[in-house]
Structure 1
Amino acid sequence: MQKVAIIASGENIDSAYKVLNIANAAATMDVQVIVFCTFGGLQMLFKDPQYPMIPLLEPFQDRLKDIPTVKELRESAMEMGVTFIACQMTMDLMGISADDLVDGITTAGATAFMEEALDADSTITF
């Protein structure tokens, strides 16, 4: 089985959509997907992720109602077996607890992610 490792660090909604779109696409192709969320990328793991509208997407705001939300895309990815790892160091730094995140999220450090990434066929960063 092929494996892709994704680093999610962007804090904006467009970053979350990029990560989750790639993760879902890979999972539908029977690719093992590991997503390491750090800094702004942790937002997508919150129980109710909140993103401010960014200028890039303002002209398309009406169309956003026709696509799945970040929460829906995350749930879809998790249902297909995508593994999400929340960076423990970043959580400690930002005062985020595991209770702030949805169930099923692994918390670990960069070393745990690197073990996965070194075994991956490709690594993608957003």
Structure 2
Amino acid sequence: MASAKEKAGFIYVKDTLDGGYPALVLGINAARQGMESKIFYSFMGLHLVMKGGAERAKFIPSGLMGAIPGMSTVATEMMKKKIDKANIPSLAELQEVAQLEGVQLIACKMTIDMMEIDESKLIDGAVVWNAEDFLIYAKECKVCLFT
């Protein structure tokens, strides 16, 4: 009898360029280690599982630098150049890899309702769960992280 797969869950709540990578990288690597892997996108993080959302993600410098008008645009372009130079896939490409590797991308139902988002705006393959659904899954996870 085959043993059940270990499970990994990741909760993601930001919509920034730098914030999008950890959950995806960890989710992909969990799947590659043979784990069932899911990423739960809630609040502002939901933007990254909306069509075009990963492409619109910005890098916002911390502190006063992030408050300067136009700084996030400049910082985003600089960060994207660093990402390209290091041969790191874009967020959209990494989401596609994640899905190909079996990582399930989950949109939070409460956030969808609160922000009045049409579910047809989600990227292909994303599913919708409520918090209870994710908690039932999370209780069985060997790894469950808030990224």
> TM-score scaled by structure 1?
0.91
1:1-126 equivalent positions in 2, closer than 5 A: 1-49=5-53, 50-55=56-61, 58=75, 60-65=79-84, 66-126=87-147
Using the TM superposition, name which of 53-62 and 115-124 deviates more: 53-62
Q: SS at the partner of 1:81?
A: coil
Instruction: Name the aligned partner's letter for residue 64 of structure 1.
Output: I
- The higher radius of gyration belongs to 2
Distance 2:51 2:11 in 1: 20
- Equivalent in the alignment of 2:65: none
Instruction: Name the aligned partner's letter for residue 109 of structure 1.
Output: N
**Could you say which structure has the higher helix fraction?**
2
Q: Which runs of 5+ in 1 are unaligned?
A: none
Q: Percent identity?
A: 29
Distance 1:86 1:102 in 2: 10
Q: Deviations over 1:55-92 (max 9, x none)?
A: 26936442122321111000100111111211111011
Cα contact 1:34–1:116 (8 A) shared by 2: no
Q: What is the number of residues matched between the two proteins?
A: 126
Q: SS at the partner of 2:92?
A: helix
Distance 1:29 1:70 in 2: 21
Q: SS at the partner of 2:93?
A: helix
Using the TM superposition, name which of 59-68 and 23-32 deviates more: 59-68
Q: Which is bigger in relative contact order (C-alpha 8 A, separation at least 6)? A: 1
RMSD: 1.7
